[in-house]
Structure 1
């Protein structure tokens, strides 16, 4: 007899289900690294909905679905321990898909070995995996027909078939697969690798049982194979009018039997966010501490917990002058140190007090701060577009210098007068001459910004002061200037020098809140909006102290007075200056 058929012959263990288990698959999504497998092999039909997020075990990443589990093996082990004692056996017995490298775990084997008392077909059923295990006994195999040399693997789909599983004495024996199951497992969408690989040797005969749904009896049929099982409801027609057939919900039943695995992490282990995510005060509770972008560094504190199918880590992180703790979703983290080190977060990470202040103003303020010393960006409403007013004179200046470079010219006396009066004195007439007569108005400025990779703006074809751009775009523009990614060294120095000599009455915000002795290159903007007749005011610049260098842009709108807007900008800039000093 095939050893696989006799594997559970002497098994006697019984495992009751966890009473408090609930499936939350409506809220989960397929992890990105399982998406190719899920899409390639009709995952919605064959695996069902995700039950959990993807979570790490020592050998790789695992995700449970209604009808199974997928495993993504890694070449190196992770600093994780799990309470699932059968996981190594499941991985070794799993079906590895060559194109994707993903392993589908044979959860049915674990349920049979444990003797799960989870009812087959749902509540109201008296048939369990223990009954299915009993049916694997060698006594239940059937003798094969005596006709010689029959190809049992190519029998017609409209008749039952007996698949050989070994010998009883000199008699070949096997298990009968009903024609309705045989037709089902031979569908390419159901068994993309072929039924022999995806389902494997039949372990039992097809077992009939009855279950009550809403007071009505349903006549069921189930059959176990080495890698999976089938469940049929004679009284529930499917889309084709035939009785509904599905895989056994081994993912749900595995978690009902063994519960979510307890995950133990190495304390003080570094991890990084691998996508935009949130840090929470408590797992699963909508109390957000901060939003963080990819590559944000954190430290595991060792504690983990499951909440509605999501594994959460207790983590710690450090900002410039403070250390904080909270919770993050395991699926949003990675143990692999990213190559890219540029990271961002909301300003909560830097200062909860400043974040609270900004929240009281809401959507009428936006800011971005790039700490060049640590390669970190802190943001609030940073991608929201605001009217630029005179802040647009910075990109106009840079576009003009870029044009001169392509013409292989240096600014002549007239050009220097226009640039100086536009930036240092915020002269609008000089701005209009450069904008309309030199760089090609809105089209020319937009072309320059697109060329250097900046797109978060809305051009105004009629008035340069009504252009809209985001605080983040201004910070990105000043970063390109500061780090030498645009213009020649001579023209970069010229631009920064002009921005360093803003006339005193226009240096509010960045200019009058920076630390004493700081080097400041800046430009502010202000106007009364035609839309709501309220003030639009902003301040942008580059600050260099003895120990720090950062770029900041603070934008406001819909303010009742110039002074009110300036007060907001000063508060933000002063807070940042005190933190990054």
Structure 2
């Protein structure tokens, strides 16, 4: 019986409870007391304090918010949303500003609108539209964007498509000012999920593949932003936007896309403004991107 006592003690410790071990002693193998008392059955009471309970793991939102709040204070404001397509985890963090100028990330939304309209018509993009779309996404050509903005019917066409795509916090820019469309990181994540997600999407498989192909082939000097979180930056599919505001002299800098991070596929959207320079904006966006991705995959 004495040989079983250590294992019983271990079980009691693991359970973190009060263990009561009943042991019957013999004269040849006393457990407690002297030999004369050993013939009577004895009860050994072993007391252990309850094990301290572990705090529950933080939610994805809590983990990302904690990591981002720990960053050194920087100029401007930002809004970030991230989703792990493998685990299903997702998180969002906003600095409280509300909506942000899209700058050139709206070009993905314009392309999605163009493709939805082509689907509705039962056709495909024309050769001219395909050429414009490639220039708009790969090299962020503004003249090509002006032409396709007109093709989709401007802000009204974008708004109609966004209703179908599920973007509820995006307001198209007035007239031809597509770059001043207002949006949130959460809405941009919805747009990315319509392209890359596994769920239902108003975009057909061919349309989604077309957007993926263009976002994966952005020119080298525009492959910054969310690509900072990628295991291989060259494999990232993304679209960036940047805009100096004439009224303040400060920069809007945004980045959205898909990356492979620590073996998982992440969709990330980071919007920001108030940066003293283009370079400082890029650095800030990349810092937020990597911090949020690491926190989600902690």
Q: TM > 0.5 between the two?
A: yes
Partner residue, 2:267: 551
Per-residue deviation at 1:353? 3.7
Query: Contact between 1:518 and 1:543, CA under 8 Å: does it hold in 2?
Result: no
Partner residue, 2:149: 435
Partner residue, 2:110: 396
SS at match of 1:559: coil
Per-residue deviation at 1:576? 4.0
Per-residue deviation at 1:517? 6.9
Pairing partner for 2:181 from 464, 467, 479 = 467
Per-residue deviation at 1:515? 1.1
User: Given the alignment of the two structures, is residue 562 of structure 1 paired with residue 275 of structure 2, yes or no?
Assistant: no
Query: Contact between 2:77 and 2:274, CA under 8 Å: does it hold in 1?
Result: yes
Deviations 1:424-474 (A, max 9, x none): 0100011111111x1100011011101222110222213000111001100
SS at match of 1:554: strand
Gaps of 5+ in 1: 1-266, 268-300, 304-313, 320-343
Q: Which has the higher strand share?
A: 1
User: Given the alignment of the two structures, is residue 533 of structure 1 paired with residue 246 of structure 2, yes or no?
Assistant: no
SS at match of 1:461: coil
Q: Which has the higher helix share?
A: 2
Partner residue, 1:509: 225
Query: Contact between 1:514 and 1:573, CA under 8 Å: does it hold in 2?
Result: no
Query: Contact between 1:500 and 1:521, CA under 8 Å: does it hold in 2?
Result: yes
SS at match of 2:168: coil
Per-residue deviation at 1:560? 0.6
| CA–CA separation in structure 2 for the residues paired with 1:530 and 1:473 | 26
Partner residue, 1:317: 56
Partner residue, 2:163: 450
Query: Contact between 1:382 and 1:471, CA under 8 Å: does it hold in 2?
Result: no
| CA–CA separation in structure 1 for the residues paired with 2:171 and 2:137 | 22
Query: Contact between 1:515 and 1:578, CA under 8 Å: does it hold in 2?
Result: no
Larger relative contact order (Cα-Cα within 8 Å, sequence gap ≥ 6): 2
Per-residue deviation at 1:366? 1.2
Deviations 1:324-376 (A, max 9, x none): xxxxxxxxxxxxxxxxxxxx753x41473433217x24861111111222212
Q: Mapping of 1:222-233 within 5 angstroms? A: none
Q: Mapping of 1:248-267 within 5 angstroms? A: none
User: Given the alignment of the two structures, is residue 572 of structure 1 paired with residue 278 of structure 2, yes or no?
Assistant: no
| CA–CA separation in structure 2 for the residues paired with 1:467 and 1:573 | 22
| CA–CA separation in structure 1 for the residues paired with 2:74 and 2:56 | 27
Q: TM-score, normalised by structure 1?
A: 0.40
Per-residue deviation at 1:536? 0.3
Gaps of 5+ in 2: 1-15, 17-49
User: Given the alignment of the two structures, is residue 524 of structure 1 paired with residue 240 of structure 2, yes or no?
Assistant: yes
User: Given the alignment of the two structures, is residue 482 of structure 1 paired with residue 221 of structure 2, yes or no?
Assistant: no
How many correspondences in the alignment? Answer: 246
